[in-house]
Structure 1
Amino acid sequence: MTPIRLVQVSDTHLSATHAYFGVNWDAFRDAMTAAPPDLLVHGGDLSFNGPEAEADLAHGAAAVRALGVPWRAIPGNHDIGEAPAFSRLDQPVDAARMAAWQRHVGPQWWRHDAGGWRLVGLDTALMGSDLPAEAEQRDFLAEALATRGPRPVMVFMHMPPFMDDPADPAPTTSVIPHAARGPFLDACAAGGVRVIACGHLHTYRRMHHRGMEIVWAPATAMVDVQRGLARWDRFPRPGYLEWWLEPGRASHRLVEPARMFVIDMSGWTSRNNGTTTTLPPWSRSP
């Protein structure tokens, strides 16, 4: 079987009115035009501020469709909001925000079989939300794992499952809430999950847990150089991941295109509640 070439891109933060990171999307678009993948998976934060500006979701989805490749996407906190008890930006996920994502982008969770693998996409905003959709997604994951047959499973989601210690109970908006984390990891470890592919923290990182590889994709948008150096001893750069899937084996490489620029917004976010969503409108010149 010929390996499937899959591209995982995350945290693009696209917008027509707040086009701060469009130059790096241009570089990504050119790379996809030069070498189209068999499948593209967008790992969340497609939009700049989708919970408040539905037009950002429409703009981001149109940009991905314009690539002309098969694609799937899962929502991030800047697309659909956050679990209500962990809503740092006061943008709790709710029915209206979920409907906007479904209208412009697609389902919040999905499965797709390719390259001898079962690919599963999940919405981390629902984890720890106590919304009815959380139980629906949990049932979906159980069914997707139970019916995988001999296929190994690769799970795509926006937030990483944990930072360093899966047992850390501290409240957080960086990773899956503690109460939801344990059952999720138990289901994955028992259900044939071999890879968890995520994003959200705008840096590339690899970890291993209970036989599973956990891979964080970098952002194509902004980075936080100070945090990357202090926390992970890594200078964060924009880019994406290229995966090759064949029966029983998945491998990847980090791609950091020369035309993607390091856009460090930490000066702004340190003064504005840790978010870029307070940036004023800015549209690039033609």
Structure 2
Amino acid sequence: MTSPISRDRAPADLLFTFAVIADSHVNPGDDHSSSPWASNRLANERSRRAVAELNRLSPDFVVHLGDLVHPVPALETFTTAATSFQEIYSGLACPLYLVPGNHDVGDKPGEWLPAKSVTEPFLEKYRSIFGRDYYSFDHGGCHFVVINAQLLNSGLVAEQQQRTWLEDDLQRSREQRTFAFTHYPAFITSPTEIGHYDNIDEPARSWLLDRFAEFRVEGAFGGHVHNFFYNRHRDSDHYVAPSVAFVRHDYSEFSRIAPEEGHEYGRNDTAKLGFFLVEVYPDRHVTRVVRDYLRHDDAQASAGGSDGRSLLVAAEQPSAVGVDARQLWTEETQIPYSGVVDEFARKTVRNDYPLMAMWEMGINRLRVPVQDLLDDRIRGRMEELAHSGHQFQVFTYGVPGNEAVSLLTECRWFVSSLEVILPPSQLTTRFTEISRISRTTGLPVHLSAVRTSANDEHGGDDYAHHVRHGFTLDDQAVLQELIATAGFGDAVSGLAFTVARSESPVHSLAAIDELVAGLGLRATVLVKLAADHPGSSEHDDRTTASRVAETLVAAHELHSLEINLDTFGDMDRGYFPRNGLVDRRSNLRSAGLVAKHLTAALPKRTGRASSLAQHRSDDLTWIDFGDGVVVIPEKTCSWDAVRSAVGTAVEPGTRVVDLVTGSAGTVEGAQGLCGGPVLVLRVSA
């Protein structure tokens, strides 16, 4: 599905889409909330924005995972808030299915919980206003099950009634693809984690997971946590949805950095608000994160005639670039007991916000060290993500040992290549070992050379520590000699290159593509976002976003290269400090937004490379490629300057996309100022 979302450009095998939203916490009125946090008073307006965005995306239906309202059933304002919810969500242009949350029927059982637990009177109040609290429905040949998670372990009569109903319902529909919806997720990191505020307690947890496994539930969606998580358990995908209203800021512990000004200690981190759009195909489903719905009505579209719809990466065309995962991309941490929800134990949780950002940008390839494969926990996570389409390029210094080779062989279904980095003195002496590894694992092996400051020539008093790897275009004579060495062809499938910050990505990548094509090889390439000197910082978002735009266009056109951006996340301390695609809170920077919007807006790769031509005039650079032009202003400029620079490519109706804001329109209507990279798509594209 190319973007903006459009039914006429949807993949031919797309069956239907549905949306999943959670935790709207609607207040009795727009100017009042029983919560002490100012951001909670914005909940009603944020729901209106979500409804508007859902209508633009046009799913077949929407499932709301509960906490429809903020006042709990024991408060007098509950009924008024329920009326406000119904008024706001009556604006949806498609059917809405409701799941009861703990704010709607009472908390799960527990004397230590901060609100009263579920009771029969609370259930009756909910049913009288919203209808059934557990039920199922069918759509497009699939079965959808709504479960009242608060009943589990309650001992109420309704608990056993729901259990009996669920067993019978799943049995009757066992030949259908099934999706399940609860408010509390079964778990958020591990099915064996301790019971806490954010999961379903035992013994009901195991009972429910056993039912999901027995009846092959394809996807299970939970809310309540106001943060994003993804797990795979016994062939089922388990998702925890973000909130459309506010963030549960106890999870701000993920970020080793203070919340930004105005974020209410993380509660009002609006970049973490959003919902899911789920695409259902004959053989799979794809869950996408939509988290820019608050921006569209605020930002002035720089492209005239903007339709304001979210730019979402197409399922059949993920990003043409991967990322180098220098930081731990699957970090586990412990959330302190808070005095508000959990007070008697720390929660061990995994930070899935890097994954959420990758999904949003369409990035499915990570370059990781071999130590990730050797770590049982991380390797298990790699295997889980492989079911969602992720691939991993593994690199190692030196020839890997027996344990690593065994794991590479076992995991070759999700390892795309092996990069072996050697000192120059060993480049031609290890081919026999490398050839054996290539035959054993069945993986393509890419060869790389290491360079350190110890081997550099230094003049005067200048000396800077560094360890670099990857061939450069200056190594062509060395490479010619290398591939002529006996045994090279049996051992090596490709070469690994590095493009320094001081080099133009388009020029260097095109030259590398031509070089390796002439040698009959493929190549992996690291495009550096860091400065060439370890003490220099690169924190200019504009220049980094421009570099990412250049790299993505080149990757779209050059098909013998696997290109990775180095790195994914900010390095704001230590050596080579620089901005990445995401900040330390895993929120998309300008570079990340450019990566997302450009991947979403580019036409499908054809497999046929077209010519790349880079031009410059005054303060504008533009890259001409087969389907259009990417314009990169060095500073804020007028749209007249953009139109003038790409005049030969502009026809009436030419589509333009502001790659930072995501707004799209026609080049004739573009007004105001242009502050970042812009895509100009030819009419024929």
TM-score band by shorter chain is 0.7 to 0.9
Q: Identify the residue that residue 69 of structure 1 maps to in structure 2.
A: 94
Q: Identify the residue that residue 340 of structure 2 maps to in structure 1.
A: 273
Q: Which amino acid aligns with 1:245?
A: V
Q: Which amino acid aligns with 1:273?
A: V
Q: Which amino acid aligns with 2:197?
A: T
Alpha-carbon contact 2:188-2:229 (below 8 Å) kept: no
Displacement of 1:200: 0.9
Q: Identify the residue that residue 125 of structure 1 maps to in structure 2.
A: 150
Q: Which amino acid aligns with 2:201?
A: P
Please say if 1:12 is aligned against 2:47.
no
TM-score normalised according to structure 2 size: 0.37
Q: Deviations over 1:260-281 (max 9, x none)?
A: 69xxxxxxxx998359xxxxxx
Q: Identify the residue that residue 202 of structure 1 maps to in structure 2.
A: 226
Please say if 1:26 is aligned against 2:48.
yes
Displacement of 1:257: 1.6
Cα distance in 2 between the residues matched to 1:222 and 1:97 = 25
Q: Identify the residue that residue 266 of structure 1 maps to in structure 2.
A: none
Q: Identify the residue that residue 251 of structure 2 maps to in structure 1.
A: 227
Displacement of 1:128: 1.1
Displacement of 1:205: 1.6
Displacement of 1:149: 4.3
Alpha-carbon contact 2:188-2:231 (below 8 Å) kept: no
Q: Identify the residue that residue 119 of structure 2 maps to in structure 1.
A: 94
1:150 to 157, 175, 186: 175
Cα distance in 1 between the residues matched to 2:256 and 2:151 = 27
5+ residue gaps, structure 2? 1-12, 34-40, 258-265, 297-336, 343-685
Alpha-carbon contact 1:157-1:198 (below 8 Å) kept: yes
Distance 1:57 1:186, change over 3 A: same
Alpha-carbon contact 2:188-2:240 (below 8 Å) kept: no
Displacement of 1:63: 2.0
Please say if 1:217 is aligned against 2:229.
no
Q: Identify the residue that residue 264 of structure 1 maps to in structure 2.
A: none
Alpha-carbon contact 1:115-1:247 (below 8 Å) kept: no
Cα distance in 1 between the residues matched to 2:115 and 2:28 = 23
Q: Which amino acid aligns with 1:206?
A: Y
Cα distance in 1 between the residues matched to 2:255 and 2:164 = 35
2:286 to 251, 254, 258: 251
Alpha-carbon contact 1:50-1:57 (below 8 Å) kept: no
Cα distance in 2 between the residues matched to 1:184 and 1:259 = 35
Please say if 1:181 is aligned against 2:216.
no
2:57 to 32, 35, 38: 35
Displacement of 1:72: 0.5
Alpha-carbon contact 2:231-2:239 (below 8 Å) kept: yes
Q: Which amino acid aligns with 1:15?
A: N
Q: Which amino acid aligns with 1:213?
A: D
Distance 1:39 1:94, change over 3 A: same
Alpha-carbon contact 2:106-2:122 (below 8 Å) kept: yes
Q: Deviations over 1:203-239 (max 9, x none)?
A: 1221101111001111011114451442899986000
Cα distance in 1 between the residues matched to 2:256 and 2:131 = 34
Number of equivalences: 266
1:167 to 181, 192, 202: 192
- SS for the counterpart of 1:142 is helix
Please say if 1:60 is aligned against 2:85.
yes
Displacement of 1:87: 6.0
Q: Which amino acid aligns with 1:14?
A: V
Alpha-carbon contact 2:147-2:182 (below 8 Å) kept: yes
Cα distance in 2 between the residues matched to 1:87 and 1:38 = 40
Q: Deviations over 1:94-145 (max 9, x none)?
A: 1221112112112111111112211101011101111111111111111111
Cα distance in 1 between the residues matched to 2:184 and 2:294 = 26
Distance 1:149 1:210, change over 3 A: closer
| Greater RCO structure (CA 8 Å; 6+ sep) | 1
Cα distance in 2 between the residues matched to 1:30 and 1:38 = 15
With 85-94 and 213-222 compared, the bigger mean Cα shift is at 85-94
Cα distance in 2 between the residues matched to 1:271 and 1:186 = 32
Alpha-carbon contact 1:44-1:199 (below 8 Å) kept: yes
- SS for the counterpart of 1:21 is helix
Please say if 1:239 is aligned against 2:274.
yes
5+ residue gaps, structure 1? 262-269, 276-286
Alpha-carbon contact 2:113-2:341 (below 8 Å) kept: no
TM-score normalised according to structure 1 size: 0.84
Cα distance in 2 between the residues matched to 1:87 and 1:99 = 24
| Coordinate RMSD, CA, aligned | 2.7
2:216 to 175, 186, 192: 192
- SS for the counterpart of 2:179 is strand
Q: Which amino acid aligns with 1:244?
A: E
Alpha-carbon contact 2:147-2:181 (below 8 Å) kept: yes
Cα distance in 1 between the residues matched to 2:62 and 2:112 = 29
- SS for the counterpart of 2:110 is helix
Cα distance in 1 between the residues matched to 2:190 and 2:224 = 17
Cα distance in 2 between the residues matched to 1:184 and 1:156 = 12
With 66-75 and 130-139 compared, the bigger mean Cα shift is at 66-75
2:70 to 48, 54, 71: 48
Displacement of 1:192: 1.8
Alpha-carbon contact 1:86-1:172 (below 8 Å) kept: no
Distance 1:272 1:165, change over 3 A: closer
Displacement of 1:56: 1.7
Cα distance in 2 between the residues matched to 1:152 and 1:258 = 30
Alpha-carbon contact 2:23-2:65 (below 8 Å) kept: yes
Cα distance in 2 between the residues matched to 1:34 and 1:84 = 39
Distance 1:183 1:45, change over 3 A: same
Cα distance in 2 between the residues matched to 1:162 and 1:15 = 28
- SS for the counterpart of 1:98 is helix
